[in-house]
Amino acid sequence: MNQAADFKQRGTLERNEALAVPQRIPWMAITPFDALACPLDGNPLHCQDGVWRCADGHSFDIARQGYVNLLPVQNKRSRDPGDSKEMVAARSRFLAAGFYDPIAEAVNAAVLGDMAPGQHACCLDAGCGEGHYLRSLASAAGARHLSLLGLDISKWAVQAAARRALTAHGGLTADSGASRWVVGSNARLPVLSGTLDQVLCLFGFPVYPEFSRVLRPGGMLLQVDAGQDHLRELRQVIYPSLKPERPPEDTAPPGFTLQHQQHLRYPLTLRTADLVADLLAMTPHLYRASHEGRARAAALTSIRVIVDVRLTMFRSAT
């Protein structure tokens, strides 16, 4: 069964969305972001013969999957930080089925909306997961030039993103081969100060002082967060009662001004137990839920949920 037919049988995106069809990307329009900094001393890194080096002699090999690990052991809070291999695989399947395509389209519109054809921008996806949103952005870039960096603290996520760049023949494909993939932390971004035009933080963990440092003055931060009704129906199954939600902050973090806020809301029907399990596995609820709550979710063979997300654009003031 082809992907589109499979998708139609198992789940419905109730906005009558067309499936995202992989597009041919103008190769030169997307380039890997290069202004990386040594995670040990902040010096500029330069790449030669598959190794990133700083002037003080620190060196970081490019892994055979094509990513570089810039998260020193001493900056790790656990042995295997971030999303697990299983969570990454679940998110990968769920996103590839197109259920969050309207979110990707809204992100693309927000990033590309003000860019003229031929214009160049450097963009970081901070907590990029398996790279879905950067691939979508690359596909939508058209004649705009983007230098892309996907960073995540999870080695599994970055590995999955980078692996997509390698074809079965060991070559690079345009959609993700042209992005830079890095294991690193938002808490201490291995990026030179003032080198980015855009930072994306999508369902992630924002560290505003770091985002402010790496953005050029006037650069944009786009944050996507769960809204009050996001996946409420699933949460009602797994928790005995739902806590009242705190209203979202409407003030900008220090160093930023609020530019724009937008809500995106649509219903989604998942028609198999596997899809319900994938959705649960890619949310924090998998770990927060009790054993009984998880068992109730595992018994579901279908569910209709509301996707409710908030997109917020902040401009870097410094």
Ligand X SMILES: C[S@@+](CC[C@H](N)C(=O)[O-])C[C@H]1O[C@@H](n2cnc3c(N)ncnc32)[C@H](O)[C@@H]1O
HEC letters along the chain: CCHHHHHHHHEEECCCCCCCCCCCCCHHHEEECCCEECCCCCCECEEECCEEECCCCCEEEECCCCCEECCCHHHCCCCCCCCCHHHHHHHHHHHHCCCCHHHHHHHHHHHHCCCCCCCEEEEEEECCCCCHHHHHHHHHCCCCEEEEEEEECCHHHHHHHHHCCECCCCCECHHHHCCEEEECECCECCECCCCEEEEEEECCCCCHHHHHHHEEEEEEEEEEEECCCCCHHHHHHHCCCCCCCCCCCCCCCCCEEEEEEEEEEEEEEECCHHHHHHHHHCCCHHHHCCHHHHHHHHCCCCEEEEEEEEEEEEEECC
Site for Zn ion in 164-193 (CB under 5 A): none
Number of residues that bind ligand X (CB under 6 A): 18
The answer to whether 278 contacts ligand X (rule: CB under 6 A) is no
- Residue from 186, 195, 212, 316 in contact with ligand X (CB under 6 A): 186
- Residue from 19, 20, 40, 252 in contact with Zn ion (CB under 5 A): 40
What lies within 8 Å, CB to CB, of 240 at 6+ separation is 293
The minimum distance between CB 57 and Zn ion, in angstroms, equals 7
The answer to whether 155 contacts ligand X (rule: CB under 6 A) is no
Q: Which is nearer to ligand X, 115 or 279 (CB)?
A: 279
The answer to whether 58 contacts Zn ion (rule: CB under 5 A) is yes
The answer to whether 68 contacts ligand X (rule: CB under 6 A) is no
- Residue from 24, 28, 56, 241 in contact with Zn ion (CB under 5 A): 56
Among 184-192, 244-252, 265-273, 308-316, the segment contacting ligand X (CB under 6 A)? 184-192
Q: Which does 41 bind (CB under 5 to 8 A by kind): ligand X, Zn ion, none?
A: Zn ion
Q: Which does 231 bind (CB under 5 to 8 A by kind): Zn ion, ligand X, none?
A: none
The answer to whether 110 contacts ligand X (rule: CB under 6 A) is no
The minimum distance between CB 292 and ligand X, in angstroms, equals 24
Among 35-43, 149-157, 160-168, 298-306, the segment contacting ligand X (CB under 6 A)? 149-157
Question: Which residues, listed in sequence order, are joined to residue 268 by a DSSP beta bridge?
Answer: 13, 305
- Residue from 37, 54, 90, 297 in contact with Zn ion (CB under 5 A): 54
Site for ligand X in 201-230 (CB under 6 A): 202-205
Q: Which does 230 bind (CB under 5 to 8 A by kind): ligand X, Zn ion, none?
A: none
Q: Which does 56 bind (CB under 5 to 8 A by kind): ligand X, Zn ion, none?
A: Zn ion
Instruction: Take residue 82 and report the two structure tokens written for it.
Output: 């971030």
Q: Which does 58 bind (CB under 5 to 8 A by kind): ligand X, Zn ion, none?
A: Zn ion
d(CA 199, CA 213): 11
The answer to whether 19 contacts Zn ion (rule: CB under 5 A) is no
The Cα diameter of the chain in Å comes to 57
List of residues contacting ligand X (CB under 6 A): 82-83, 91, 127-129, 132, 152-154, 157, 185-187, 202-205
